[in-house]
Amino acid sequence: MKETDSSAEMKDKSSVIIDALGTLGEFTLKTGRNVFSMFGGMFLLLGETATVTSKGLLIQEQRIGSEAIFTQMVRVGVKAIPIVILIQLAIGMILPLQMFPMLDEFGQSDQIATINAIAGFRELGPLMTAVVLCGFAGASIAAELGTMVTAEEIEALKASALNPIRFLVVPRMLATLIMTVMLTVIANVVMIASGMLTAINLGIDADTYFKLTIEAVEVSGFVTGLVKAAVFGLLIGLIACFLGLSVKPWEGSEGVGRATTRTVVYGIVAVIFADAIFTLIFYSYGLFD
Amino acid sequence: MSEASGKQPVIEVTDMAKSFGSQRVLDGINLKVYAGEIMVVMGGSGCGKSTLLRHLIGSIAPDEGTVKLFGNDITKMSEKELDDVRKKFGILFQSGALFNSLSVGENVALLLREHTNLDEATIDIIVKIKLELVGLRKHTEKMPAQLSGGMKKRAGLARAIALDPQILFYDEPGAGLDPVTSAQINQLIIDLTKKLNVTSLVVTHEMDSAFMLADRMCMLDKGKILKMGTRHDFEVLRDRTGELKSEQERLVRQFLRGDAEGPITERQLASDYEEDLLMAHKRC
Ligand SMILES: Nc1ncnc2c1ncn2[C@@H]1O[C@H](COP(=O)(O)OP(=O)(O)OP(=O)(O)O)[C@@H](O)[C@H]1O
Ligand SMILES: [Mg+2]
């Protein structure tokens, strides 16, 4: 009786390990498949959105409400403006203060302006704006669309022969794109202003600061920054719309919550990775010389 | 009005089956509804009535079988072709499914704006007419969140009839309404059907409504159609006293009468309840 017990236990243990391995394998497979289907789904959504948008804008076969886009822009972007300003005020102060002692040693303290301008226009303006908008725009879009799925609104739209892509996705994606670019411009201006105030307090002449800033940024720096912002905005809109619409009707508020959290996390990861890729490309094409 | 008339059915479902995972929700459904007719679909909660409706509006595709509306198989259509069919029917969802970001009036106006070339003034008038029909004209400006459950249903109905559809699907139109409003909605369904020659398919649990509305009825159970017939057939079955020979008829009769005792109850009790308890006991 005892023997059989212990052998049963042995079997239990080995089968536990096998089970665990099986589960792990299954998990890996499932995750792989999920990631694959997620990228696939996003790609399809992007394609369809692009088709609908171009049909609407170029050949005007499909109506795209400019009011809808405007409403979404206000919803998505306006509330984020104070936060972007606040963050950029702080960052515009942090960089000069960090760099000042070292630069001063070499008698190059004026170069604070250059550093601030390059970091701001090329990097931190678009990046910080995108991160803030991930939270503001991304989360609210995902929650809204997810709730619409659970309330059968999406199904009702389809049953009324209204395309949810044209109706919901296009205005939201265009709005996040446009607002990310516009807020990036604000972010850049605020960061330069804040940097300039800091520099003046450190004994640097305002005219010099301004001149150096303009020299440092050039048109290319300004434009690449905005191109980045546009892509970040598109990514945020795409991820938010995709995850929001991927909520299943029966998942209820739990599904909506999950989609919202995921949007913020995946959004920030996607934006930073996109940033790294941009930087690599710009670097190898010598855009930063 | 019946199959003998040799008319083409407006709605025709043939050998349709659908599973969700391992659960076979619909299993060999055959259904024909003719022009100007009200077909009432009855069945216990969770038997697949809403799922059947979802197939009829092209929202989910069946695993097997075909669904024809106006003689065309919608399961084989592209999204674009399907949209053209969708403009010709209206659906009232079980939950109302209003667009929550739009006011009641805008919910109705939306379809008119998107699918017709009418000017705003005309759209305004049509919206008022549709809302008056369901008794919500005074609530045009309200947002869906400010409506009661029954009002949402009625607003959903106003939206469903916005484009003067040729087919109307109703998922439990009377649920959550007081008896008078429910009767008014039923009368509206009958008026729409008879005066405008609309074809209607109504899902309902409420036997009073069912018998008031139906030209023909069918009862769904465990994914199959248990009985189909005219209203008269069902009335006769309901009023039959004494023992019935077939299990099937006893089951339908219990449902029609709303009896607490009968084959449906026995089936629930006889299932693996005891076994289930024992299993639970073993585990602890
Ligand atoms: N998308 C889905 N995925 C998995 N199962 C589903 C899905 N939709 C419905 N079901 C299942 O199918 C069955 C039928 O559901 P359905 O909503 O059609 O019932 P119903 O007859 O409309 O019930 P009620 O009268 O309560 O509205 C239920 O058991 C439900 O759990
Ligand atoms: Mg239902």
Confirm whether A58 is domain-assigned. no
Please name which of A48, A53, A84 lies closest in space to residue A179, comparing C-alpha atoms. A84
Query: Rounded to an integer, what distance in angstroms lies between the CA atom of residue B193 and that of residue B35?
Result: 9
CB A130 within 8 A of CB A229: yes
Query: Rounded to an integer, what distance in angstroms lies between the CA atom of residue B106 and that of residue B128?
Result: 11
Confidence of residue B170 (pLDDT cuts 50, 70, 90): very high
For the entire predicted model, the pTM comes to: 0.84
Please name which of A224, A231, A230 lies closest in space to residue A289, comparing C-alpha atoms. A224
Mean pLDDT calculated for residue range A41-54: 85
* Chain-chain contact of B95 with A152 (C-beta, under 8 angstroms): yes
The vertex-A189 CA angle with A188 and A192, nearest 5°, equals 85
β-bridge mates for residue B67, sequence order: B13
Report the share of chain B in percent with pLDDT over 90: 51
Query: Which residue of B22, B29, B47 sits with most ligand 1 atoms within 8 Å of its CB, as the best mutation to test the pocket?
Result: B47
Nearest to A162 among B57, B97, B114 (CB): B114
Residues of A in contact with B99 (CB under 8 A): 153, 156-157
Mean pLDDT of chain B: 88
What six digits make up the tokens of B102?
């739009």
Mean pLDDT calculated for residue range B1-6: 49
Residue with tokens 């692009």: A50
Confirm whether A11 is domain-assigned. no
β-bridge mates for residue B17, sequence order: B27, B64
Q: Above 70 in pLDDT, residue B3?
A: no
Residue nearest to atom 22 of ligand 1 (CA): B50
pLDDT at A58: 64
Nearest to B59 among A153, A155, A162 (CB): A155
What six digits make up the tokens of B136?
């919500």
* Chain-chain contact of A159 with B91 (C-beta, under 8 angstroms): yes
Q: Above 50 in pLDDT, residue A1?
A: no
**CA neighbours closer than 13 Å in the CB half-sphere of residue A250:** 1
**Would the CA dihedral through B211, B214, B217, B220 be positive or negative?**
negative
Q: How far is A237 from chain B (nearest CA, A)?
A: 19
CB B68 within 8 A of CB B221: no
Residue of B nearest to A158 (CA): B59
Query: Rounded to an integer, what distance in angstroms lies between the CA atom of residue A42 and that of residue A72?
Result: 21
Q: Above 70 in pLDDT, residue B168?
A: yes
**Would the CA dihedral through A148, A149, A154, A156 be positive or negative?**
negative
Query: Rounded to an integer, what distance in angstroms lies between the CA atom of residue A213 and that of residue A228?
Result: 20
Pairing mode, if any, of strands B199-203 and B38-43? parallel
Query: Rounded to an integer, what distance in angstroms lies between the CA atom of residue B101 and that of residue B155?
Result: 14
Confirm whether A176 is domain-assigned. yes
pLDDT at B109: 93
CB B226 within 8 A of CB B252: yes
Q: Above 70 in pLDDT, residue B56?
A: yes
Q: Above 90 in pLDDT, residue B94?
A: no
Nearest to B95 among A147, A151, A158 (CB): A151
- Asked if this assembly's ipTM is beyond 0.95, the reply is no
pLDDT at B5: 53
pLDDT at A285: 81
Mean pLDDT of chain A: 87
For residue B168, the SS3 value is strand
Mean pLDDT calculated for residue range B199-215: 91
Other beta carbons less than 10 A from residue B25's beta carbon: 18
pLDDT at B66: 93
Q: Above 70 in pLDDT, residue A245?
A: yes
pLDDT at A9: 56
Q: Which domain holds residue A207?
A: 64-284
CB A183 within 8 A of CB A77: yes
Mean pLDDT calculated for residue range A1-25: 66
Confirm whether A243 is domain-assigned. yes
Query: Rounded to an integer, what distance in angstroms lies between the CA atom of residue B263 and that of residue A181?
Result: 67
Confidence of residue A59 (pLDDT cuts 50, 70, 90): low
Confirm whether A13 is domain-assigned. no
pLDDT at A289: 56
Residue type, A168: L
Q: How many Å lie between the centroid of ligand 1 and the Cα of residue B128?
A: 35
Q: Quick: pLDDT tens for A26-47.
A: 888 888 888 888 888 888 888 8
- The single-letter DSSP state of residue B58 is T
**Would the CA dihedral through A172, A178, A182, A187 be positive or negative?**
positive
* Chain-chain contact of B57 with A159 (C-beta, under 8 angstroms): yes
Query: Rounded to an integer, what distance in angstroms lies between the CA atom of residue A93 and that of residue A197?
Result: 8
Mean pLDDT calculated for residue range B251-276: 78
Mean pLDDT calculated for residue range A85-112: 90
Confidence of residue B245 (pLDDT cuts 50, 70, 90): confident
pLDDT at A3: 47
Q: Quick: pLDDT tens for A167-195.
A: 899 999 999 999 999 999 999 999 999 99
Q: Is B153 in the pocket of ligand 1 (CB under 6 A)?
A: no
Q: Is B46 in the pocket of ligand 1 (CB under 6 A)?
A: yes
What six digits make up the tokens of B156?
């959903």
Query: B275's torsion region: left (phi>0), alpha (psi -120 to 50) or beta?
Result: alpha
Q: How far is A161 from chain B (nearest CA, A)?
A: 5
For residue B215, the SS3 value is coil
Confirm whether A36 is domain-assigned. no
Please name which of B100, B109, B99, B153 lies closest in space to residue B130, comparing C-alpha atoms. B109
Query: Rounded to an integer, what distance in angstroms lies between the CA atom of residue A149 and that of residue A144?
Result: 9
Q: How many Å lie between the centroid of ligand 1 and the Cα of residue B45?
A: 8
pLDDT at A21: 80
Confirm whether A213 is domain-assigned. yes
Choice between B276 and B168, residue whose per-residue pLDDT is larger: B168
Confirm whether A145 is domain-assigned. yes
Total tally of structural domains belonging to chain A: 1
Report the share of chain A in percent with pLDDT over 70: 92
Mean pLDDT calculated for residue range B51-77: 92
Burial code of B74-99, b = ≥16 C-beta within 10 A, e = fewer? bbebeeeebbebbbebbbbbbbbbbb
Query: Which residue of B40, B41, B45, B50 sits with most ligand 1 atoms within 8 Å of its CB, as the best mutation to test the pocket?
Result: B50
Q: Is B45 in the pocket of ligand 1 (CB under 6 A)?
A: yes
Q: Quick: pLDDT tens for B116-167.
A: 999 999 999 999 999 998 888 999 999 999 998 888 988 999 999 999 999 9
Residues of B in contact with A74 (CB under 8 A): none
Which ligand 1 atom is the nearest neighbour of the CA of B205?
Answer: 25
Report the share of chain A in percent with pLDDT over 90: 46
Residues of A in contact with B87 (CB under 8 A): 161
